[in-house]
Each structure stands twice: as C-alpha cells, then as structure tokens.
Amino acid sequence: MRDKVTIPAIKARKHGPKLTMVTAYDAPMARIVDQADIDMILVGDSLATTVLGQTDTLAATVDIMIHHSASVARANPRALIVTDMPWLSYHVSREETIRNAGRLIREGKAEALKLEGGRKRLPMIEAILAAEIPVMGHLGLTPQSFHAMGGYRVQGKDLEAARELIADAKALAQAGAFALVLEGIPDVLAEIITQEIAIPTIGIGAGVHCDGQVLVFHDVLSFNPDPTGKQAKFVRQYAQLAELATTALQQYSADVQAGTFPADNETYHTNAEVARTLRV
Ligand code: KIV
Ligand code: NA
C-alpha cells in the first residue's frame, strides 16, 4: 500500500509528477476516488449543487461541510482530504474564521482547507495558517462570487485583471498556502502564475500548464442527468454513470414485473418440514 498523501508530499510535486484531485462528498465516493490513486480528495462546496440540488454553492454551510467531510474521512482515504470553507464562514471576523476552520478540522476531519479569494482574504488566511491549518487558495472564477461576477465567467481575460490575479497568486504563495486552485482563466495566465510561484497550481478550466488538475466527481463521470444538457468546456466525461445507472434500474424494474427477480439463489429458505407445516 502506498503512503498517506501529506502536505509536504504535495508541495514536493511542484516540478512533477502532475497532481490529481477529484471531489467526493461521501464515503463510497471517497473510496472510488482513492482506489483510482488520486492524490487529493476535495470535499467541495460544489456539493450544494451536485448532491443537494441547489443552483449555486452559496447554500453550503459549515455544518453541511462537516457532515460530508466527516463521511469522506470515514473511508480512511490515502488521498489528502481538502475541505472547502463555505461562503461567509471566513468573511466576518478572524475569530469566527478560526472557529469555523477548527470545526472543519476537528469535526469534519479535514486535513487542509480551501478558501476562495486573493489579497482581500489574506488576514483570514494568515489567521488559519497561524492555527496550524494548511490552506489551499482558489483564484479566478470563484463560484462563491457568483453574484458579484454576474454569473460564471472566465476571469483574468484583460491585462489589468490578469495582473491582479498574478499579484493575488504571489501573495497567497508568500503567505504560506500549500497549493493554489486556478479556475476558469486563460491558459497563458495559468502558465505564468505556475511559473511565478513556488507552490503547485491545480487547474480547472485553466489549461494544461498547471502543476495538477481538479474535476468534480459528477462532471468527470457524468453522474448528474443534466436537464439542460450543458457542460462546461473544460469537462471531459470519462464515463456515463447516470446513463449506466438508469439502464440498470430499468432492467431491475423489468425483472420485478416479469417475476424473475428475486431468483431462488437470492431468496431465504426454511427447511422443508417447517415450510410444509406453515402452508397447512
Ligand atoms: O467546490 C468545488 O468542487 C471546487 C472545485 C471546482 C475546485 O471548488
Ligand atoms: Na468550491
């Protein structure tokens, strides 16, 4: 068995091999991700949309994140467990931020926390780091800024915005973040940030030059029958799990109707004498 993935081990991968990260929100998903030898499990606040049916991630709370993070931890994955700090859990005060971060570690069994934003969030990031909690940054298209961004849009496309993002990335690395998610930015910008900072960058919709990649479980496995049928450009679907599950359940339903499920070997029996006596 391979060793547990640690923060120093992630940092040491700056110059390869490339890092992999996939979201998981419960124990069986964590086992599946872990069996694929993925380096990091992200208990993302994307669970608000992927498993809770919300339209954005703003609905995730600290209690919800703890509930799912602890479920993932019970699978005892080899992968590093990184849990998202949900919206408003690190925006109010340093005290509240540290308490929320502490709960995600102590109750949610997270091994590192991810939070969105750049220099604006530095005081909170520094406070969490000072409490000995590893921090993963998240820049670019930050879904918790949904309303402020006016929807999910690629960020850092013009020169000024790109320079701001580079400065944010440097500030996060300087502050002591152990890795940085880059979401929804042009590839050249992600490439420059990756070159400019000493910590690994993990891309999602940020091109091939990042030190690693992250995808959402339900996206990469097509596990959500999407009513709109629309997928982000950066998603590659490696399986069609929703389709597979639907077909399987249709077969189950047909077998029940046909009386071919359950079969004899799927049935409990009593001894012939008891059966005969019961029948009379
Ligand atoms: O919540 C999430 O799944 C994320 C990834 C998209 C990076 O933050
Ligand atoms: Na997230």
What pLDDT does 222 receive?
96
pTM to 2 decimals? 0.97
| Residue bearing the CA closest to ligand 1, atom 1 | 44
Q: Rounded distance, CA 193 to CA 40, Å?
A: 21
pLDDT greater than 70 at residue 165: yes
Locus of tokens 């046909």: 258
Give the position, in ligand 1's atom list, of the atom nearest the Cα of 57.
1
| Residue bearing the CA closest to ligand 1, atom 8 | 44
Domain architecture of the chain: domains with CATH: 7-239 (3.20.20.60), 244-279 (no CATH)
pLDDT greater than 70 at residue 203: yes
Identity of the amino acid at 222: S
Name the token pair of 207.
Answer: 């091109």
What are the phi and psi torsion angles at 22 (to 5°)? Answer: -140, 145
Q: How confident is the model at residue 27 (pLDDT cuts 50, 70, 90)?
A: very high
Instruction: Point out the residues that are catalytic.
Output: 183
Q: How far is the CA of 46 from the centre of ligand 2 (A)?
A: 5
Q: How confident is the model at residue 229 (pLDDT cuts 50, 70, 90)?
A: low
Q: How far is the CA of 142 from the centre of ligand 1 (A)?
A: 9
Q: How confident is the model at residue 1 (pLDDT cuts 50, 70, 90)?
A: low
Give the position, in ligand 1's atom list, of the atom nearest the Cα of 202.
7
**Interval 43-69: pLDDT, tens:** 999 999 999 999 999 999 999 999 999
Peptide bond into 17 cis (omega under 30): yes
DSSP-assigned letters across all residues of 100-145: HHHHHHHTT--SEEEEE-SGGGHHHHHHHHHTT--EEEEEES-GGG
Cβ–ligand 1 distance for 46 under 6 Å, the answer yes
Cβ–ligand 1 distance for 116 under 6 Å, the answer no
Angle at 59 between CA 87 and CA 42, to 5 degrees: 65
Can you name the residues that pair with 22 across neighbouring β-strands?
41, 215
Q: How far is the CA of 45 from the centre of ligand 2 (A)?
A: 4
How many whole angstroms from its chain centre is CA 6? 17
What pLDDT does 152 receive?
95
Give the position, in ligand 1's atom list, of the atom nearest the Cα of 47.
1
Nearest to residue 37, comparing CAs of 55, 20, 16? 20
- Residue ranges near ligand 2 (ion) with Cβ within 5 Å: 44-45, 84
Q: Rounded distance, CA 168 to CA 11, Å?
A: 19
Our CA dihedral for 260, 261, 266, 271, rounded to 10 degrees, sits at -70
